[in-house]
Structure 1
């Protein structure tokens, strides 16, 4: 009886050991990967000529996957501006690598806007690298703003400021240039097609911050650090002995 009981216990122990050696079935829940996440919706650009823009570029949503230099090069109606920023107009001026280090808001004049420039100005831009560099940098400022948020006065990469008014499909730049289609999404920028070439000489007066108001579009003024001049250290000289004063007798 003792032997049979021992055998029964041994069999039970062996079964328990086997059971423990088999991995337990665990219900695993996979964490969603980034590739499983729904793609962000590409917002529609806004402006009176966006219909023509989409017709000319049916795959316009694909621009969102491109750096801004490639996105600009893909839009037919701004090919002259693309030439101006990429070395085509003047081999000495190529700022595409700068723009690709955005985020930037880029105002891209149409081909018609460049065609309306006086012939002497067009010739100047083709031959003067500094002038063309200033011009193209005036068409970009740091930011990543859609049509409802782009308004305000902001410093451009050229140094002077640009003023954007309105919102949605009714936006103006410096009160004269109109956005024909804006908020076009690139990988690191928002592109606004405008009907005029922006001129740094017509930049609005810079906004000066005051102690009573502040705005996000204000450009802080740069003040040279005050030079502190240390006052000369006063040196006390012994007073001169009066003439005729008697000397103390030696003690």
Structure 2
């Protein structure tokens, strides 16, 4: 009897996991990169920057895009006043350069990353990719989560804001 109960619980848990995964895939397929970032809640600073840089329509476009998305904590690591300075209208060009340095054209999944050592960003400069020792680094930023699906691309969560040279 306990064995049948264990099997039933296992089947229920497996069903729940599959249903959750299916929901997550549906969520990503129906939401573009901006919508996924907004609804996540960990990218408030990034979303504010994308709005200030007037890049919302671009990142809601067809894509596909690969976005290396810094968390709010990543932005908090910048020197005091940096975010505020970048968000000023007179610094829009600098802000757009920083933001587009986080975007690679095309869809680059975690499986693809292990086969590359650099990628050219929308901003025009290359980012370095290092997948060794069980972690993936994009320049000096560690990838915290990979393959967050969106209808127009993929998001990889990073712990540091990437600054172009």
Work out whether the TM-score is over 0.5.
yes
Q: Where in structure 2 are there 5+ consecutive unaligned residues?
A: 1-17
Match of 2:145 among 181, 189, 206: 181
Higher strand share: 2
Give the RMSD, CA atoms, in angstroms: 1.9
Deviations 1:84-138 (A, max 9, x none): 1123xxxxx2112112221111011010111111123223212211111111011
TM-score (norm 1): 0.51
- Aligned pairs for 1:45-56 within 5 A: none
Q: Could you tell me how far apart the structure 1 residues matched to 2:72 and 2:24 are?
A: 19
Higher helix share: 2
Q: Where in structure 1 are there 5+ consecutive unaligned residues?
A: 1-40, 45-58, 88-92, 202-251
Q: Could you tell me how far apart the structure 1 residues matched to 2:24 and 2:74 are?
A: 22
Q: Could you tell me how far apart the structure 2 residues matched to 1:120 and 1:145 are?
A: 32
- Aligned pairs for 1:158-177 within 5 A: 158-166=123-131, 170-174=135-139, 176-177=140-141
Q: Could you tell me how far apart the structure 2 residues matched to 1:60 and 1:141 are?
A: 23
Structure of higher CA gyration radius: 1
Q: Could you tell me how far apart the structure 1 residues matched to 2:71 and 2:108 are?
A: 20
Runs of 4+ in structure 1 over 3 Å off: none
What is the aligned residue count?
A: 138
Match of 1:142 among 96, 105, 120: 105
